[in-house]
Amino acid sequence: MHSEKQKHSFEPKIIAFVCTWCTYAGADLAGTSRMQYPSNVRVLKFPCTGRIDPVFILKAFQQGADGVLVSGCHPGDCHYIAGNFHARRRFAAFRKLLEFVGVDLNRLQFSWVSAAEGGKWVEVVTDLTEKVRAMGPMAEFKQLALEEQWSGTIGTPELKEAYNAI
C-alpha cells in the first residue's frame, strides 16, 4: 500500500490555511481515499478564507514556515456567500506588498480546492512542497528573527575609544 518514502536532504515546512467547508473536506477526502501526499504540510482550519488575515501568513513565515498555502472554496461556493471574494482581493493586494518588500512569491500559493477535489489537493500540496524544496529554506524571515536591535556595528572605533576611556 505504502510507496517507498524518498529521503531528502531538506524537508520544507509548509503551513496550509484552509477553509473548513471546502478545502479541509477536500483534504479529508484525499485522506479517506488513501491518496499519498507529502507530510510536510501542516493544516490549519479556519471557518472561511475570509477569516484568514494576511498577518497570519506573516506570522507563519516568522515562525519558520518555508512555504504557505491558502486554500478555500471556489468562487461562488462560499458557505458564507462572499468570504472568498473578499479574501481574493485582500490576498491579491497582500502578495503585491510582499513582493515589494522582497519576499519570493513562489513560496506563497493560493488555491481553490472544493470538498470533492481530493486529487487537486494532493496536486497543489505536492507541487508547492517540491517547489519550496527546490528553493531551499526560507532564510529571510528566520535570519530576521535571530537578529537583535539595529545599533549598527558594535566594534566601531568610537565605541572602542569610549570603552577604553572608562
Partner 1 sequence: MTQPIDTSIYIAITEAIRDEAKRLLLEGQVSAVIGYAGARRKGSAQPVIISQAEDAAKLIFSPASVNNLALYLTKAKKEIPKNGKIGIVVKGCDLKAIVGLMGESQLKREELYLIGVPCAGVLASTAQPSTGLTAETIAPKCTECNAHLPAGCDYVPNVQLPAPLQLEEKYIAEITRLEALTPVERWAYWKEQFAKCIKCYACRQVCPFCFCEQCLCDRNKPQMVESTPRPAGNTAWHIVRAMHLAGRCAGCAECERVCPMDIPLNLLNRKMAKELKELYAYEAGFEVNDKGPLSTFDEKDDQSFIK
- Is there a contact between 67 and 129 (Cβ–Cβ < 8 Å)? yes
Beta carbon nearer to partner 1, 8 or 145: 145
Beta carbon nearer to partner 1, 8 or 45: 45
Residue 146 beta carbon to partner 1: minimum distance, rounded to whole angstroms: 8
Residue 11 beta carbon to partner 1: minimum distance, rounded to whole angstroms: 22
56: its cell numbers: 497570519
Give the residues lining the site for partner 1 (CB under 8 A).
53-55, 58-59, 62, 75-76, 82, 85-86, 88-104, 109-112, 124, 127, 140-141, 144-145, 147-150
H/E stretch holding 135: helix 118-135
Beta carbon nearer to partner 1, 51 or 95: 95
110: its cell numbers: 493560493
Beta carbon nearer to partner 1, 17 or 141: 141
Helix axes 83-101, 54-62, angle to 10 degrees: 50
CA–CA gap between residue 108 and residue 22 (Å, rounded): 19
